[in-house]
Structure 1
């Protein structure tokens, strides 16, 4: 395929070789009764987490839904990854997650995607126990089996798990597009700082730009 030997990141999506990856759009960090809210002190809950959750649900998730609608219509694979241990007690978690205190038990409410982005019946869901989905899962193997060479990445939080996934995907030879306004973190300054830092690893487009170009004709009416 032409884009496999390219020297540019600015290559339009080829839907049959592309996948849309959602990172951590789950109850643990995005539900008012999720694990992060439950475990936080009152100041963190009200000053940091609740405004973030409210903003993501009001502004970011609707764009994610529009992007997914267009990706599905174009015939792209849609893949979801979320923080979820393989065990109830989280003994399989990364050392970093153990130190941080993250444990999302297998099959728990916290491990579920937010309701607006529940996976379709035949869409791929990959649990992870590290910041980068490429470190603690077989996603690279799965993507290559699917024939995927281009990734569109969206999710939370921009400067942690999203950025980690983009860097690793780039290093593994994928052409990555970051859907910039379908990503979010706790402050606008952190979000913009991450976008600037990751710019050399991916093509960056807003959802509106993708719907008007690569996915034209497949978006919501």
Structure 2
């Protein structure tokens, strides 16, 4: 079965937000870079996904120039870059068609935000029948403030995401586990 690494929203937009200083993995580009190198070494497809919110005037508006991969990450020739406008990487892109046309049956998910775009993509991929691996420490998130005033910390978010995905929608692994020779 062919595999693909799907890199979601590891883009400069997030570093422009004030809450990025509280990110669970400020070194996300390095972690993702390790996964990318390993995937390329195995001859796997690497798919890059960026999130855009055109005409909003915020950091996800392509006109501002932040809807680009974080420094240190660069697609190689033949590695598609898709732009999405929904939370998951499937709904507003041709990701499923791309994976199907290349015979991909297994995907590894990494990127930003752990509980939002990454988790949602993992769930949709599982529903579409893909074998899903979730690279938990190659995802990043920031604290989430609830309208009640309670704030969910990054460790709680990571633990919750791992708990709800493992054995249901994905196999949860670390970068070290995924990059071992």
Whether the TM-score (by the shorter chain) exceeds 0.5 is: yes
Quick check: 2:165–2:171 contact (8 Å CA) kept in 1? no
Alignment RMSD (CA, Å): 1.9
Which residue does 2:51 correspond to in 1?
A: 83
Q: TM-score normalised to the size of structure 2? A: 0.85
More strand by share: 2
Following superposition, the deviation at residue 66 of structure 1 comes to 1.1
Which residue does 2:103 correspond to in 1?
A: 147
Quick check: 1:155–1:184 contact (8 Å CA) kept in 2? yes
Structure 1 residue ranges (4+ consecutive) displaced by more than 6 angstroms after TM superposition: none
Match of 1:190 among 146, 157, 161: 157
More helix by share: 1
User: Do residues 120 (structure 1) and 80 (structure 2) align?
Assistant: no
User: Residue 204 and residue 119 in structure 1: after superposition, are their counterparts in 2 closer, same or farther (change >3 A)?
Assistant: same
Following superposition, the deviation at residue 188 of structure 1 comes to 1.3
How big is each residue's C-alpha offset from its partner over 1:40-79, in whole Å with a ceiling of 9 and x where there is no partner? xxxxx2xx33231xx5333x33221111111101100000
Q: TM-score normalised to the size of structure 1? A: 0.71
Gaps of 5+ in 2: 143-153
Which residue does 1:6 correspond to in 2?
A: none
Which residue does 2:169 correspond to in 1?
A: 201
Bigger Rg, which one:
1
User: Do residues 72 (structure 1) and 28 (structure 2) align?
Assistant: no
Match of 2:26 among 25, 48, 57: 57
Task: Give the Cα–Cα distance (whole angstroms) in 2 for the partners of residues 139 and 103 of structure 1.
Answer: 24
Task: Give the Cα–Cα distance (whole angstroms) in 1 for the partners of residues 121 and 58 of structure 2.
Answer: 18
